[in-house]
Structure formats: structure tokens, C-alpha cells
Amino acid sequence: MNVSERLKQTAREMPEKDAYIFQGERTNYQTFDASVTKFASALKNLGYEKGDHVALISGNSPVFMIGLYGALRAGLTVIPINPTYTSKEMGYILKNGDVKGVIALDMIVSQLDIIDDDLMVEHYFVADTGTGVNLDSYSIAPKMKPFTETVASGSLDFTPPSLDEEDLAVVLYTSGTTGKPKGAMLTHKNIYSNATDVAEYLEISETDRVIATLPMFHVFCLTVALNAPIANGGTVVIIPQFSPEAVFTAARDYKATVFAGVPTMYNYLLQTGDGQEDSFGHMRINVSGGSSLPVSLLEAFEQKFNVRVSEGYGLSEASPVTAFNPLDRPRKAGSIGTNIINVENRVVDELGEEVPTGEVGELVVKGPNVMKGYYKMPEETSVTIKDGWLYTGDMARKDEEGYFYIVDRKKDMILVGGYNVYPREVEEVLYKHPNLTEAAVVGEPHPEAGEAVIAFVVSDDPALDEATVIDYCKEELAKYKLPKRIEFLEELPKNTTGKILRKSLRDQLSKNL
């Protein structure tokens, strides 16, 4: 079984059930599945064979869903790419990923046109977004095919190729914060097992309506807000681009029951004036992931909207979910929860030995969701996967009840005078300040202490100064953990999922040295 086969099964069992809602238009499972089959058929007619690679460069839309499931049904390997990437960034992934076909939006054709000469792309399946772009003016025009017409040209009389669970389904390129992006190779077993295990763990069923406002090209949305609900007959409420207003409106209009977001989204939803106490009135569960959710933000959000926010953990290399706060027990603020079904997490030392309960070590993961390896990078694969365990690079601890807590990224730890300072601990204190809305902490080289703690903050009080913030921190932090300096910014740098980019802040500091 794989996710595309599961979709076909769901379409047979509940053909009239809404599969997704996009811009007010509802599409049932029968229609969705038919489009998927037709696209798979069209790809075969154009010469695509099992194992070929296609890139999916689309925003949150039916194009992404049909493109993903259709390519998988045809036996192809899908490489989702961020549509806001530069031509250079797209070009690297398309070339490194040996891409034969590209499913894209018309608004990015100009970028693809620039890099086409260096690629082996045979077709660009272009979706019309109504922008009025003159596609005939580009040199790649002969290679372009309208996406909608391509789907329509396919046949329902299509027999999918035989697929093995270890066949490659998706290659997810990491953000590349430490160098060139690496392609995490996920098999059909990887993505199917994680989708169904997450759906079972979160009790997602055909009665659920899941808001998909996280980018679909990102593995968090791909599994939790797309594959998991589709696997169990839920309805995906597609929001093309995150905004508090769009989320609140969708939640109220469609009586949404599941929301998945990153901490920055929860912060925006909390801070905006659009949100009312009953905005999330039908929410059964609110999922947070992507990065650590400050406890003060979690508690303020729960209090305002009278909901439960449960934090989990995952990474691209694990399809992505490995841990989550269980629904049948109290969630623990600050914890990523316990092992999900079929997945084991451990905290180990430098030798790979499990550390005692309560001690900090590196989080490692094993399960059917763990990637095959990095595409064309055997050395990096051997460093990351050892004896079947995926080394995450995150420092964590486990309590006596089996709940895990992310302390921080291994590479983000700050060494001050021989003492370890974990940025998250300092950030938790900063988020408690009533006039600070965002905070991020990084290390800066220091001639005496080795490193110094530097805090970047966003404040809604223009009169707030550095001394006041540092004095506030003194109440809860040891002297060596105190920020040496406070940098006030209008906004913290973030990636497209809303995750705060500490690397950008470190780069900013290094430029000033």
C-alpha cells in the first residue's frame, strides 16, 4: 500500500466526500482520484517511466495535490521545491535531483527560463494562475504544456506500474543552512507509514477538516495536513498563503477541527486583533512543530482561544514525525511528547549509548519512517544514519514518563566560559516579558569567555531598552546565561514556514565584527 493507492481506496469507499476545499470550491474524492489517474496516464503517454524524477514547484493548491498523487501513481519520484526560491536555488535542486519534468506555476516560468540550459528537463507542466503571463515569450515555450489540459488529456483506463514499498517516492531537499541542500530520499513505505501512523495517533478521521496553510512543499504540511487526512478520508481546507485572517475565516466557515502550524504562526494568530474567543470553536486539536514552541506563547494561546495546543517533533529525514504529545494523557508544556506509533526515540551520548533519564544527549530515531539516505551523498548518509538510527543533531532529554524535551540544536549551543548555554532556555525567559513578541538567541565570539550570548528581540513598546530587558532576565537566569547585548529588530528573519533563522542572525553579527 502507498498513499496514492490509499487515495483510490478512499475514493471507492466515500466518493462524494469532500477531499479538499480551495477558494470556496469543494472537490470530492471521486473527482480528485479521477484527476490523479488522468495525470498519471498523461505522464505515461508522454514517455515517463517508473523511477523518473519530476519536480513540483507549486503553492498550496489543487495543482500540488493532483501533481503529487498523480506522479506517485505513475511510479515517479516527486521532488517538492519552494516556489519562492531564486533561480540559482531552484537550478541546483533540479540539476542535482536529475529532474525530467517540472510541474510549476506560470508566475515562476521566468526563473525556469533562465536556468533551463543547464538542465535535462523535457517538459514544464505549467498551471495558469490568472496572472496574464505571456508564456510564448520564453525560450522554454516549446517544452511547456498547460497543466490542466495535460490532466484532461489522460485516460481513466490506466494501470499503475507495480511498486515496491522500498521504491523511492519523494526526495525532500533540506534548507541547506550548513551548505548545499541535501536530498532526503523517502520511500513509499516511509511516507505511507508516517501518514497512517500520524493519522492514527491524532485520531484523524473522515469527520475532520484540516487546515493546510503550512507550505505543502514542506514535509510538516505534506504529512500532517495532507497525506494523513487523505489517508483516512478527511477534508483538506487549502489556504494558499498564511495570514491570521485567512486562518480564522476558514476555521469559522468550514468548522475546521485540526490546525497545524509553526510557533511563529501561533504568535501571529495570538497577536492579531482578528481572532475572537470562538474563532477556533470547533478545533479538536492544534498541532505545533517545526521548532520549539515557547511555553508562555503556548499557554497564552490556549487561554485566549480555550483550546489545547499539542507540540510534536519531526524532521525531513524521518518523513517527518517521530514524537507527539498523546491525546489520551495530559500534554506537557515544553515537551514534544512521546514516541508515536511504530517509532522509537532515544537520547544518546557521543558514543551512541543511551543516557540516564533526565540527562541531555543527542536525539536519535528509528522506525519505518526513517529515510533511505541522502540522494547521491553516501558519506553524508553514513554520518547521519548509524546502525539504523537517524542522528537528528538535536539535543534532548527524556523524563521518567517517557516524554521528550528538545533542549536545542547541537550546533546552536553556546559555550560561555566553559558552561553550556542553550538558546531556548534564554528565549523562554524573553518570551515571558509582556512587551516582547519575538526573541532569538545566538552566540558571538568573545575574547575572554569564548562566546557571548546575544539576544535579538521584537518589541511592541518603543520605549523598552536594553538595560530593562537584561534586568528582567537576571531574575531567572544565571550570570553566564545573561545576554551580553540586546539587539532590537522590527522583525526576525524567517524561512517560508515561519521558522526563525538563527543562522541569518549569526551572519549579521559576523558582518559587524
Residue-wise pLDDT for 237-248, tens only, equals 999 999 999 999
Q: Are 308 and 331 in contact (CB under 8 A)?
A: yes
149 and 81 within one domain: yes
145 and 67 within one domain: yes
**Residue where one domain finishes, among candidates 362, 389, 409:** 409
228 and 137 within one domain: no
pLDDT per position as a tens digit, 198-235: 999 999 999 999 999 999 999 999 999 999 999 999 99
286 and 393 within one domain: yes
- Residue 288: its H or E element: strand 285-288
- Residue 399: its H or E element: none
User: Which pTM value belongs to this model?
Assistant: 0.89
For the chain, how long is the longest CA-to-CA vector? Answer: 72
275 and 193 within one domain: yes
Residue 120 lies in a domain: yes
157 and 90 within one domain: yes
CA dihedral 478, 481, 485, 491 (to 10 degrees): -120
The rounded distance, in Å, linking the Cα atoms of 283 and 267 is 17
Domain that holds residue 54: 3-163
Residue 176 lies in a domain: no
Distances (CA, A) of 486 to 128, 344, 504: 47, 39, 16
The rounded distance, in Å, linking the Cα atoms of 390 and 44 is 36
SS3 70: helix
Residue 222 lies in a domain: yes
**Residue where one domain finishes, among candidates 409, 425, 450:** 409
Residue 44 lies in a domain: yes
Each residue's pLDDT expressed in tens, for the chain with a length of 513 residues: 999 999 999 999 999 999 999 999 999 999 999 999 999 999 999 999 999 999 999 999 999 999 999 999 999 999 999 998 889 889 999 999 999 999 999 999 999 999 999 999 999 999 999 888 889 999 999 999 999 999 999 999 999 999 999 999 999 998 654 467 899 999 999 999 999 999 999 999 999 999 999 999 999 999 999 999 999 999 999 999 999 999 999 999 999 999 999 998 999 999 987 777 788 999 999 999 988 899 999 999 999 999 999 999 999 999 999 999 999 988 999 999 999 999 999 999 999 999 999 999 999 999 999 999 999 999 999 999 999 999 999 999 999 999 999 998 888 989 898 788 989 999 999 999 999 999 999 999 988 888 999 999 999 999 999 999 999 999 999 899 999 999 999 999 998 888 899 989 998 888 776
Cα Rg of the chain (Å, integer): 23
87 Ramachandran zone, left/alpha/beta (phi>0; psi -120 to 50): alpha
426 and 381 within one domain: no
Strands, E assignment, 106-227: 123-127, 144-146, 168-173, 183-187, 209-212
**CATH number for the domain harbouring residue 437:** 3.30.300.30
Distances (CA, A) of 208 to 18, 201, 205, 235, 444: 11, 14, 6, 6, 46
Q: Can you give the pLDDT at residue 418? A: 78
For residue 372, which of 313, 321, 318, 314 has the smallest C-alpha distance?
318
Q: Can you give the pLDDT at residue 12? A: 97
Residue 171 lies in a domain: no
Q: Which alpha helices (DSSP H) does 202-339 contain, by range?
A: 219-220, 228-231, 244-253, 263-271, 295-305
* First and final C-alpha spacing in the chain: 55
Q: Are 81 and 59 in contact (CB under 8 A)?
A: no
Q: Can you give the pLDDT at residue 175? A: 67
Q: Can you give the pLDDT at residue 177? A: 46
**Residue where one domain finishes, among candidates 163, 181, 203:** 163
- Into how many domains does the chain fold? 3
Residue 452 lies in a domain: yes
193 and 158 within one domain: no
Q: Which alpha helices (DSSP H) does 137-218 contain, by range?
A: 147-153, 188-201
367 and 394 within one domain: yes
Residue 305 lies in a domain: yes
Can you name the residues that pair with 148 across neighbouring β-strands?
none
State the amino acid at position 489 in one-letter form. Answer: L
SS3 136: helix
CA 46 to chain centre: 32
**CATH number for the domain harbouring residue 201:** 3.40.50.12780
**CATH number for the domain harbouring residue 123:** 3.40.50.980
Q: Can you give the pLDDT at residue 417? A: 85
108 and 156 within one domain: yes
226 and 367 within one domain: yes
Cell 539504523 sits at which residue?
388
287 and 255 within one domain: yes
Residue 276 lies in a domain: yes
> Residue 168: what are its φ and ψ, rounded to 5°?
-75, 125
